[in-house]
Structure 1
Amino acid sequence: MPFPDIDPVAFAIGPIVIRWYALAYLAGIGLGALYGWSLLRRTTLWADNRPPFPAPAIYDFAFWAVIGIIIGGRLAYVLFYNPAYYAQNPLEALALWEGGMAFHGGMVGLMVAVAFFTRSHKGNILSAFDLLAAVATIGIFLGRVSNFINGELFGAPTTLPWGVIFPMGGDVPRHPSQLYEAILEGLLLFLVIRYFTHVRYALRRPGFVAGIFGIGYGVSRILIETVRLPDAQIGYLYGGWLTMGMVLSLPLVIGGLVLIAMSRKRVIV
């Protein structure tokens, strides 16, 4: 099927251009903060009726979340996805408007920000990671949809009926891997985590929900990487099928398993 005619620019006011990608980031943070507030105010969901920090503080945290995502995401892209180029052009690492963000780095930056923020409120950091896992899927969904709108991060050629002919992908239909990620890592993982938080009261086991996220995202990303084209400047690692996305996702799966094992010490009631 042909690529839908969607302008990556949402709107422009004079010289100011607002892209869907930027709106996805802002909407993900805004909606995530709103959903996080609803979880924090329901104290009975948390261990000992104590959320990691008071519900109104979620909006203060949203500011630090933005900083953590930007610094972590950009730094990881520079170090893992195009180190040779930025070694020769170090000042270009600051050119955020030219694109280039890595999800795994953004997540690490976000985790660091939430750890410091929660510590300042004397809360449980593992519970804060659980909160982060519950809301992060919203931003992932919106971000991957915006990747599709931009016609970037598409997959390998396919003969499946839903293959899309991307403007930058030649004349052959390709896997819409951005939408695969939006569905698996965003929508489906959100529903799974919501079931565990609201039905199984999993937030009473600090680290359990974060573990589910780590396993769910890591496995989904590894599977999708089998049909998603790697970054051109990196290609497949070791001349085979392995990609940088797979390598960076494996620690998430392992970390998720560790968190769930640790959380078994606390009983859900």
Structure 2
Amino acid sequence: MELLNYIVWNPDMFAFRIGSWGVRWYSLCWLIGLALGYLLMKKLYEEQGITWQERVQGRKKVKVNVFDPLFIYIFVSVLVGARLGHCIFYEPDRFLTSVQGFVEMLLPIHFLQGGGWKYTGYEGLASHGGVIGMLVAIWLYCRNTKVPLWTVLDNMGICCGVTAGFIRVGNLMNSEIIGKVTDVPWAFIFEQVDKAPRHPGQLYEALAYFAFLIVVLFIYRRRGPASVGTGFYFGLCLTVIFTFRFLIEYTKDIQVAFEAGLPLDMGQILSIPFILIGVACMVGGPWMKRLGAK
């Protein structure tokens, strides 16, 4: 293989530095994705007239903003879910078999063999765990604010592509979740990993998620705000994103050793339930609409 034919990839992990302190591209991409998702969700709430609710406090009726708490619910739950998902699904032997491992799962530190510890940040976040955490948070949010559950889920399905796309861009900047060795002309040589040309699986996913965002926004504009609350957009999101995730795994290298002995890797195994739930939501629109009214 002629290495000059491929894209050599070796970016600095830090987007910028101020003295000894710096912001990593990965963290920056997470924040950009969440911020854009927040702004898009806010616009959808306003279009659908659900940002404010009238409530009785004492003897007065007051308007309460029910959108603002959503960001906190989502931000915390996605990070916690993604972290726990990685530790439980991908590295249970490391994090669930010792007290030190359990502490490392919860805190962004690593214990040194000779004693002591160092700050590492959270090294390892799993998208499937993030989705599970997000769903739990949305249920709690709807329970507390009385916003219809299927309305929130559909709006989340419309917005999620932008956040998911930027997270994968962060993975690309980190040279992680790399693809298998290949000779396609657009292969990347991840110098922080090895000198072999590989599929840029992170880039495939990022482009797919951004494309999904454009398509789902087009559908929403054509169908209008009244189409939200049936479960269709939430189902479409799960079905399309996790079907693509299932297929793209064939171009990725395994992330942990035990996957080598499995007929499907962990990403594919975890994607199957989400695909089935997505299809069920898309075909069960009238039933979802009735549930959404409660």
TM-score normalised to structure 2 length: 0.82
Distance 1:251-1:148 versus aligned 2 partners, 3 A rule: same
2:139 maps to which of 115, 124, 138: 115
Asked if the contact 1:53/1:118 (under 8 Å) is kept, the reply is no
Shift of 1:118: 2.0
Shift of 1:221: 0.2
Distance in structure 2 (CA, Å) of the matches to 1:260 and 1:53: 28
Distance in structure 2 (CA, Å) of the matches to 1:225 and 1:176: 11
Shift of 1:98: 4.0
Shift of 1:219: 0.6
Aligned to 2:38: 33
Paired residue type of 2:195? D
Distance in structure 2 (CA, Å) of the matches to 1:53 and 1:121: 10
Distance in structure 1 (CA, Å) of the matches to 2:176 and 2:106: 21
Distance 1:235-1:167 versus aligned 2 partners, 3 A rule: farther
Deviation by residue 1:178-205 (Cα, 9 ceiling, x = unmatched) = 0000011x11111221122111237334
Q: How big is the alpha-carbon RMSD for the aligned residues of Structure 1 and Structure 2? A: 2.1
Deviation by residue 1:37-90 (Cα, 9 ceiling, x = unmatched) = 1111112xxxxxx64876954333112211101111111111110000112322
Shift of 1:237: 4.2
After TM superposition, the structure 1 = structure 2 runs for residues 91-130 of structure 1, keeping only pairs within 5 Å, are 91-96=103-108, 97-130=121-154
Q: SS state of the match for residue 235, structure 1? A: helix
Deviation by residue 1:7-51 (Cα, 9 ceiling, x = unmatched) = 1101122343211111111111111111111111112xxxxxx64
Asked if the contact 1:52/1:124 (under 8 Å) is kept, the reply is no
Aligned to 1:244: 266
After TM superposition, the structure 1 = structure 2 runs for residues 201-216 of structure 1, keeping only pairs within 5 Å, are 201=224, 203-216=227-240
Distance in structure 1 (CA, Å) of the matches to 2:52 and 2:86: 31
Distance in structure 2 (CA, Å) of the matches to 1:175 and 1:224: 10
Q: SS state of the match for residue 3, structure 1? A: strand
Q: SS state of the match for residue 8, structure 2? A: coil
Distance 1:107-1:16 versus aligned 2 partners, 3 A rule: same
Asked if the contact 1:214/1:255 (under 8 Å) is kept, the reply is yes
Counting matched residue pairs gives: 258
Matched, 1:155 2:167: no
Distance in structure 1 (CA, Å) of the matches to 2:272 and 2:52: 30
Distance in structure 1 (CA, Å) of the matches to 2:214 and 2:139: 25
- Percent identity, aligned pairs only, is 28
Distance 1:153-1:196 versus aligned 2 partners, 3 A rule: same
Distance in structure 2 (CA, Å) of the matches to 1:128 and 1:52: 11
Aligned to 2:84: 75
Q: SS state of the match for residue 134, structure 1? A: helix
Moved more, 120-129 or 9-18: 9-18
Deviation by residue 1:123-161 (Cα, 9 ceiling, x = unmatched) = 110111111111111111111111111111110011110
Aligned to 2:251: 227
Moved more, 86-95 or 194-203: 194-203
Shift of 1:264: 4.2
Distance 1:151-1:254 versus aligned 2 partners, 3 A rule: same
Paired residue type of 1:40? Y
Asked if the contact 2:77/2:133 (under 8 Å) is kept, the reply is yes
Distance in structure 1 (CA, Å) of the matches to 2:73 and 2:248: 30
> Higher strand proportion, which one?
2
